[in-house]
Amino acid sequence: MSLPAVENDLKAQLCEHYIDSDWQPALKAIMDAEGDTDIALNAVNALAEAASHHTRLKICIPARPQ
């Protein structure tokens, strides 16, 4: 899947809740892995670990519009 396709899918799912700058680190980590699943997972896990230490972090996944 191409980066523009992924971004479009995220925008479609999250609608006005999609904030490009919030997603860029994760998308960059995945794209930089160039198909190496282990590298991609390690990069995403590192981002998740860093995010988990921010006490004000709120994860809000809106319901998908019908």
Domains of the chain: total: 1
- Return the biggest CA–CA distance within the chain: 36
Asked, for residue 57, whether it belongs to a domain, the answer is no
How would you class 53 by CB atoms within 10 Å of its CB: exposed for 0-12, middle for 13-18, buried for 19 or more?
A: exposed
Q: Give the alpha-carbon dihedral of 9, 51, 38, 26, to 10 degrees.
A: 30
Asked, for residue 65, whether it belongs to a domain, the answer is no
Q: Is 8 helix (H, G, I), strand (E, B) or coil?
A: helix
- Whole-model pTM over 0.95: no
- 26: Cβ–Cβ under 8 A, 6 or more apart, which residues? 44, 47
8 has pLDDT over 80: yes
More confident residue, 3 or 54: 3
Domain boundaries, position 12: 3-52
Q: What is the mean pLDDT of residues 47-61?
A: 76
In the chain, % of residues over pLDDT 90? 24
Asked, for residue 66, whether it belongs to a domain, the answer is no
pLDDT band at residue 51 under the 50/70/90 scheme: confident
48 has pLDDT over 70: yes
